[in-house]
Amino acid sequence: MKQISTRFSMAIHTLSLISMNPNDSTGDYIAASVNTNPVVIRRIMGMLKKAGLVEVRPGIGGASLRRDPESITLLDVYRAVHAADEDQLFRVHTDTNIHCPVGRNIERVLQEELQAAQSEMERRLERTTLAKVIHQFE
């Protein structure tokens, strides 16, 4: 099965470090904690920046949160790093046979059901703040 990318968990990791230690939080420093290549972290920081979650200091290095960690939810992070796609968790097959009553209606019916399931998941992510996550590291 296709799983949700580790970009998401790496982004939470990244935000935690930035929140706890803004000055040291260079791409290299975070990469050492995540244990990956600094470019991977810089890419994620770019997405977090575009989403308005962090402010990065080019030249001097480091980054800081642009919002209170109490106000940043895991859903915010999830959306930030999955920016590209239209954030539909479930794919539904299309171009079905319109001469069949199932083929004609399946897409609409499933979109409703699956969107509901996705929303439940997202609501749960929304209930956890970055602050709550960070609290478990201190």
Partner DNA sequence: ACCGTTGTAACCATTATAGTTACTACGCAA
Partner DNA sequence: TTGCGTAGTAACTATAATGGTTACAACGGT
Cα 133 to Cα 15: distance, rounded to the nearest angstrom: 10
* Of the candidate residues 23, 57, 67, 104, the single one contacting DNA (CB under 7 A): 57
Radius of gyration of the chain (CA): 19
> How many Cβ atoms from other residues are within 10 Å of residue 104's Cβ?
12
- Give which of 81, 86, 3 is closest to 41, Cα–Cα: 81
The footprint of a second copy on residues 79-118 (CB under 8 A) is: 82, 84-85, 87-93, 95-97, 100-103, 105-106, 109-110, 113-114, 116-118
- 46 vs 124 by CB, closer to DNA: 46
Cα 18 to Cα 55: distance, rounded to the nearest angstrom: 10
- Give which of 118, 134, 124 is closest to 12, Cα–Cα: 134
Handedness of CA 18, 81, 90, 112 (dihedral sign): positive
Residue 52 interacts with, from a second copy, DNA, none (CB under 5-8 Å by kind): none
Give the interface with a second copy as residue ranges (CB under 8 A): 1-6, 8-10, 12-13, 16-17, 20, 32-36, 74, 82, 84-85, 87-93, 95-97, 100-103, 105-106, 109-110, 113-114, 116-125, 128, 133, 136-138
Give the interface with DNA as residue ranges (CB under 7 A): 1-2, 5-7, 25-28, 36-40, 42-43, 45-46, 49, 56-63, 84-85, 91, 93
